[in-house]
Amino acid sequence: LAPVRAYLAGLIALLAAVTCTFGNLAAYGQTNIKRLLAYSTIAHAGYMMMPIAAALVLIGSDPAGARASLAALAFYVAVYMFMNLGVFAGVAFLRNASGSEQIADYAGLVRRSPGLAVCMAILLFSLVGLPPLAGFAAKFTVFAALFDAGMLGLLIIGALNTVLSLFYYLRVVKVMILEPELPDGRAAEIPLKSPPGAFCLLVTLPVVVLGIWWEGLLRWAEAAAGSLL
């Protein structure tokens, strides 16, 4: 089955590279936050396909490495659940409060909703994969699986896409934190003591904690992968 595994690994690697690159390029020019996040979700689906390709390469010669690749996938999915749930919830709460999904209307958000703005910034930085947040740990495990499988080309594509995603995520943070508040006062006011603010804080905390103490969750992911291989 080695030729079949090699073919499938190459095919999935190609799909991962195309999916990741398309999602990030499409997200780059968006002015609507929901569309930006939707396209970035496509990009993250590409990242999730990468360890599958690595596992197919390693399973014939290094079963332990293949299990580590599948564990990287499970770990990434678990971390991404918190990041995506938090950022989409924040967008929904802001839309309900301000009636807008345009990134430009987030200007000055930190002045009216400082807690929510900080939570959104943490989640966006984690989606990029910046340390010391959980998104960094998740991407590190995926890229480590690619390195172990010798898939350096796909690793470089993943790293370049991470750099590309930094620009459009950082643009949202810049609007929320650095730009002055709009003169018509459209920035939403959502305190952390409110139910929406408390929910965003509750979902953001695991992203911070798992960025520092992520070994436990990774061990669970490795145990789950061990039941498959």
Q: What is the mean pLDDT of residues 106-117?
A: 90
What is the pLDDT, as a whole number, of residue 185? 57
Span 146-198, pLDDT tens digits: 999 999 999 999 999 999 999 999 999 999 999 888 776 566 788 889 999 99
Q: What is the mean pLDDT of residues 190-208?
A: 93
What is the pLDDT, as a whole number, of residue 184? 67
What is the pLDDT, as a whole number, of residue 228? 78
**Separation of alpha carbons 170 and 175, rounded Å:** 9
- Taking a C-beta distance cutoff of 8 angstroms, is the pair 120, 176 a contact? yes
Distances (CA, A) of 178 to 36, 66, 117, 129, 138: 20, 44, 11, 21, 28
What is the pLDDT, as a whole number, of residue 5? 87
Residues 157-164: contacts with CB under 8 Å, at least 24 apart: 157/17, 157/20, 157/21, 158/20, 158/47, 158/50, 161/20, 161/21, 161/24, 161/43, 161/46, 161/47, 162/128, 162/129, 164/24, 164/25, 164/28
**Separation of alpha carbons 74 and 177, rounded Å:** 33
End-to-end CA distance of the chain: 16
> Can you read off the two tokens belonging to residue 108?
């000055």
- Taking a C-beta distance cutoff of 8 angstroms, is the pair 68, 51 a contact? no
Planar angle of CA 38, 47, 53, nearest 5 degrees: 140
149 closest CA partner among 18, 37, 46, 58: 58
Q: Which strand (E) or helix (H) includes residue 166?
A: helix 152-177
Q: Taking the model in full, what pTM does it have?
A: 0.93
